[in-house]
Structure 1
């Protein structure tokens, strides 16, 4: 049964991956056709073609390796300086440029002269290149908001899960009471597991964040209004001063940091709680921010990733994960002893995170990524407008093909990083358990 569930999880992730890639390329395809650019091919995957059909002027197909996808637009790069495809050069760097330029014109037909990608205005090219990553962002946001507002997330509530027996500084990192430890204020007040705190010092509290802040701000006598067995009653407690975990501006606990604050001494129960639209949007914003920070931090994580793959280093929970690692995690999700709704929500969140990563990664201003083409179009627009302001001759299209040597270097680095992640995902994978 475990193997069957693992295979099911991997198959579901593979389907989600293919859909995400197809959805990405659909953004490029639809906007390219909207602006009259001819698109000979729309392909999901790389390598040998396993299925294809020609509809109109475009061949639609699926290739054997589900590690990406592409659409082929004619005229991605402008002709050479002489207005045509330049002769083959013996220079390897020049050869890269000419190969890219030739590929952009290899399927040119009579009448296509006004259907070339590079002839479109810069803002149209920006839209075509941005549409792919944007589709991934739309999918990520839709999945995230759908899960957040219909299912929810594990959230601490004002219900008591357990009561500490004594006052122990959280900085001491121990659970057992020692001789001389005072009785916790919650235990002394008679608070019990199952109680739901509805008010603190006479002021209503509806969520754990509010209750936690009020407890931290109080040292000394306080009243707790609780609902126990359907009946409301008031308990009297004297809150102690204790070293507790520090919170950041977003109310999140900062690991390893402690501050003196009021202490009651109970554990809040965690429940799956749907979020409001506003709270869901805020949480989505945090997810995007964390994603941006993770992309920026990738170079710093390479040494740890190398040690995890080829040494005895620990594979950290926030380590970069590739397609194989994500598929493996999806298989683990299906084997968790959780209700089906929990498993579905976890799988959808994994898919949302993958699509957000696709968006952020593709927006890097580096060729051959979409962001590199966007940067080229924006630079062309800038220098043409500057020429217009200063009444200089139009400099013409920006020749992105001249950056192809850089693109090959970037692609080589990406391939090397992908292989490193692949090895780490196989020999030392990230495990959700």
Structure 2
């Protein structure tokens, strides 16, 4: 099952790459630009075919893809008869659309995934009183409780286990107080004194059952019963799905910004034993994402959780890649967008001063900057991949 998860992730990754390049390709063709190549991957060509003026194919290394549009920069050589169809001769607004189309496709794919997930499977909700876990023992401390420490032979059995509570029970009241959410249930448990006997009413197989449990005392935590909520998936309306999609985008954008900001600080801790407890635990490569997909598919949980986790991971990855591509750094799409915008600004300033159009930006001056940024990106990418291979962060 773990290997199936890896395959699912790789297929989804290649599909995302195809959509990205299709965005550039379709937009360029729509504006009459000449696209001579459409390839998935890099390196030696495994297969290709030519249709019309475009060669389509697959390369040996499935780590990206590219579309070759003639005349992308002032350095490209173009046949005189094709110059009118080159990228550089198109109006600025058309060039901006072509450049942004790749990231746009990532955002569309992510929105479709999240919206479809909310409508089809439902939104994950763990604020329910249905029991998903009944602990076997009483943890020795609040730290052991928070860390999910395993039970030892000397640990006493949990009050929930002794009381006869079972996974799937729906708690309806605690000490006579009706509860309809996990938040309410947690609050009334906290209000109960350790050592006191609590009366718990649950719905089991459609019938009410009343049980009694003597709450344990966990140092640093207080009264302890030994239960945890299950996760349920509740399908929502189209309007609710739209709101869920918007909140999902907002969370990923915020998280992406935080992860990028922490990346320089995370590098020294990538190979530390306590990586998960440092900033390095919040950053990952495609290898880490593939491993998480494999773990989720192989986990002993319901199919809804597996599908939800994998789809949200793929959607989050697409949003992150879309944002990363729009950063104003060469050689990424956002860097070329910045160049086009600078050409527009220069042209506007020249017109105000009554001067001639300065024309295209000389990319020869940008090569050192572009190459330096490329090396930095490769460095961070290689470090993350190595860390995810030899010192992975497991999702549990």
TM class by shorter chain equals: 0.7 to 0.9
1:25-424 counterparts in 2 under 5 A? 25-78=21-74, 101=75, 104-105=76-77, 107-108=78-79, 110=81, 112-152=82-122, 153=124, 155-160=126-131, 196=170, 207-209=181-183, 230=206, 267-274=227-234, 276=236, 277=241, 278-305=243-270, 307-308=271-272, 313-316=273-276, 318-388=281-351, 390-399=352-361, 401=363, 402-424=365-387
In 2, Cα distance between equivalents of 1:387 and 1:292: 36
In 1, Cα distance between equivalents of 2:226 and 2:254: 32
> Closer, same or farther in 2 for the Cα pair 1:172/1:132, shift >3 Å?
closer
In 2, Cα distance between equivalents of 1:175 and 1:426: 26
Provide the residue aligned with 2:215 in structure 1. Answer: none
In 2, Cα distance between equivalents of 1:385 and 1:214: 67
Aligned 8 A contact 1:373 1:400 in 2? no
State the shift of 1:10 in Å: 2.8
Aligned 8 A contact 1:118 1:397 in 2? no
> Closer, same or farther in 2 for the Cα pair 1:199/1:335, shift >3 Å?
closer
In 2, Cα distance between equivalents of 1:279 and 1:386: 44
* Gaps in structure 2 of 5+ consecutive residues: 152-158, 194-198, 212-217
> Closer, same or farther in 2 for the Cα pair 1:293/1:395, shift >3 Å?
farther
Q: Helix, strand or coil: the match of 2:63?
A: strand
In 2, Cα distance between equivalents of 1:274 and 1:296: 35
> Closer, same or farther in 2 for the Cα pair 1:48/1:332, shift >3 Å?
same
Aligned 8 A contact 2:92 2:340 in 1? yes
Q: Helix, strand or coil: the match of 2:129?
A: strand
Q: Helix, strand or coil: the match of 1:40?
A: strand
> Closer, same or farther in 2 for the Cα pair 1:66/1:195, shift >3 Å?
closer
State the shift of 1:162 in Å: 5.4
In 1, Cα distance between equivalents of 2:336 and 2:248: 31
> Closer, same or farther in 2 for the Cα pair 1:336/1:55, shift >3 Å?
same
In 1, Cα distance between equivalents of 2:206 and 2:23: 54
1:293-325 Cα shifts (integer Å, max 9, x gaps): 2123222211112x34xxxx4342734332333
State the shift of 1:381 in Å: 2.4
> Closer, same or farther in 2 for the Cα pair 1:137/1:164, shift >3 Å?
same
Q: Helix, strand or coil: the match of 1:77?
A: coil
State the shift of 1:385 in Å: 3.3
Q: Helix, strand or coil: the match of 1:297?
A: helix
Provide the residue aligned with 1:251 in structure 2. Answer: none
In 1, Cα distance between equivalents of 2:348 and 2:187: 54
1:56-84 Cα shifts (integer Å, max 9, x gaps): 11111110001111111111123xxxxxx
State the shift of 1:132 in Å: 0.3
Aligned 8 A contact 1:10 1:327 in 2? yes
1:312-352 Cα shifts (integer Å, max 9, x gaps): x4342734332333334434444333444543433333322
Deviates more, 1:291-300 or 1:127-136: 291-300
- TM-score of the superposition, structure 1-length normalised? 0.70
> Closer, same or farther in 2 for the Cα pair 1:12/1:381, shift >3 Å?
same
> Closer, same or farther in 2 for the Cα pair 1:399/1:284, shift >3 Å?
closer
Aligned 8 A contact 2:202 2:210 in 1? yes
State the shift of 1:395 in Å: 3.8
Q: Helix, strand or coil: the match of 1:158?
A: coil
State the shift of 1:26 in Å: 0.3
> Closer, same or farther in 2 for the Cα pair 1:125/1:198, shift >3 Å?
farther
State the shift of 1:211 in Å: 6.3
In 1, Cα distance between equivalents of 2:188 and 2:344: 55
> Closer, same or farther in 2 for the Cα pair 1:324/1:201, shift >3 Å?
closer
State the shift of 1:33 in Å: 1.1
Q: Helix, strand or coil: the match of 1:44?
A: strand
